């Protein structure tokens, strides 16, 4: 019994708003039925309110203060009931509408302050904040034109900053969760398990605290504990933190200093190249770098044949190949000797049907490989 009462108390606490709504609806329903029954008792012989449906109609019209005037009591006691019902109904119905309005306003206030829990699915989750986030939102606004993607921001920006973002990006459905990205409960509020893409940025939104990769790493480790279906992308300032990332769970790791440093270094010898790269990354008017799936019929065929196909049929220039491969396997730890202990170990693994689980999958980039390169199943095309 105690267990039942405890579960009941937890349910009511968790669904307090729903319980209060049902109570208010039940109260209105009881008053409507009571008023209808009372007025029908005194009026059914008058020929004005002839049946229970008429009484219910009069009761609803009266309690909502609509007052059509098509039905009305004419007996003394019918009018007394009408007076009591009007006063009581006005109070009850006003309380009910105030309850609905206050909950709606409360929800809006919580949304603005980032206190709500997100119930979306297949949304884009951006954890942390720095200037790179503006580039991401600009790209989404441009590239996802025609759609209204839901973007959930998890950071510690002020309400005014979030309101400004929502006004500046009306084509994006921007939601906000306020809190520290290292807090797992905060991440769960963003419906992180059902997000299609998760982007972890080194965070500059925390006031009076320097941006650090340590906080990004903590947030990443929290994600590893969850059953994340979406792709995880991480931005780091310093590549010394790379060993702390479980790379099999992460789609991309961007080292901020490396990207900027390489562009600046290239500018000394090739002044136009950094401008070209930045323009291509913007993907303006559908022109720029893009990763696409390779048609199945080209698996096992040469890079040159795929190059010609994409150029003729899609007006794309094939720049290179991105191949996701496992860096660790049983063959990588055994020698080339086909006799002795290595051969025995390899044979035992084959007989058992077991595979060594690897946690380190890496994307290998081949920029303009030789024409005879054979396309693999794990390859994707990088095109311009």
**C-alpha–C-alpha distance, residues 10 and 7, integer Å:** 5
Block residue for tokens 């008023």: 35
pTM recorded for the entire structure: 0.60
**C-alpha–C-alpha distance, residues 75 and 337, integer Å:** 109
Rounded to an integer, the average pLDDT of 152-165 is 87
Confidence of residue 359 (pLDDT cuts 50, 70, 90): very low
* Mean per-residue pLDDT of the chain: 77
Q: pLDDT value at position 358? A: 47
pLDDT digits (tens, 9 = 90+) for 227-270: 777 788 888 887 787 777 766 667 677 776 666 666 666 666 77
Please give the order of strands across the beta sheet that includes 231-236: 173-178, 150-155, 124-127, 197-200, 231-236, 252-255
**Domain map of the chain by residue range?**
12-109, 124-259, 289-383
- Name residues whose C-beta falls within 8 Å of residue 233's C-beta, 6 or more positions apart in sequence: 197, 198, 199, 200, 250, 251, 252, 253, 254
CATH class, domain 12-109, is mainly alpha
Domain at 124-259, CATH homologous superfamily:
NAD(P)-binding Rossmann-like Domain (3.40.50.720)
């Amino acid at each position: 019994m105690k267990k039942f009462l405890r579960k009941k108390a937890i349910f009511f606490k968790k669904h307090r708003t729903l319980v209060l709504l049902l109570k208010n609806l039940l109260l209105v329903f009881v008053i409507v039925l009571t008023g209808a029954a009372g007025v029908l008792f005194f009026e059914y012989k008058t020929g004005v309110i002839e049946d229970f449906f008429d009484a219910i109609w009069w009761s609803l019209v009266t309690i909502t203060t609509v007052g059509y005037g098509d039905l009305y009591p004419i007996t003394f006691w019918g009018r007394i009931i009408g007076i009591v019902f009007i006063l009581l109904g006005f109070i009850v119905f006003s309380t009910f509408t105030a309850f609905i309005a206050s909950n709606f306003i409360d929800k809006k206030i919580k949304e603005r302050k980032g206190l709500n829990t997100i119930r979306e699915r297949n949304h884009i989750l951006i954890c942390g904040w720095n200037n790179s986030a503006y580039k991401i939102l600009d790209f989404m606004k441009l590239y996802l034109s025609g759609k209204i993607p839901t973007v959930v921001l998890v950071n510690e920006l002020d309400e005014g900053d979030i309101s400004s973002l929502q006004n500046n990006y009306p084509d994006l459905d921007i939601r906000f969760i306020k809190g520290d990205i290292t807090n797992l409960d905060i991440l769960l509020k963003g419906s992180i398990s059902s997000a299609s893409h998760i982007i972890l940025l080194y965070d500059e939104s925390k006031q009076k605290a320097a941006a650090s990769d340590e906080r990004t790493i903590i947030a990443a480790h929290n994600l590893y504990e969850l059953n994340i279906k979406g792709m995880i992308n991480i931005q780091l300032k310093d590549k010394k933190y790379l060993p702390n990332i479980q790379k099999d769970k992460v789609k991309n790791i961007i080292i901020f200093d490396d990207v900027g440093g390489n562009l600046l270094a290239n500018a000394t010898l090739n002044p136009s190249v950094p401008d070209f790269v930045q323009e291509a990354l913007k993907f303006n008017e559908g022109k720029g770098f893009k990763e696409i799936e390779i048609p199945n019929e080209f698996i096992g065929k040469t890079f040159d044949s795929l190059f010609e196909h994409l150029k003729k049929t899609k007006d794309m220039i094939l720049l290179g190949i991105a191949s996701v491969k496992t860096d660790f396997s049983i063959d990588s730890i055994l020698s080339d000797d086909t006799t002795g202990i290595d051969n025995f170990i390899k044979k035992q693994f084959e007989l058992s049907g077991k595979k060594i689980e690897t946690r380190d999958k890496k994307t290998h980039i081949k920029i303009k490989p030789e024409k005879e390169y054979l396309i693999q199943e794990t390859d994707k095309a990088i095109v311009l």
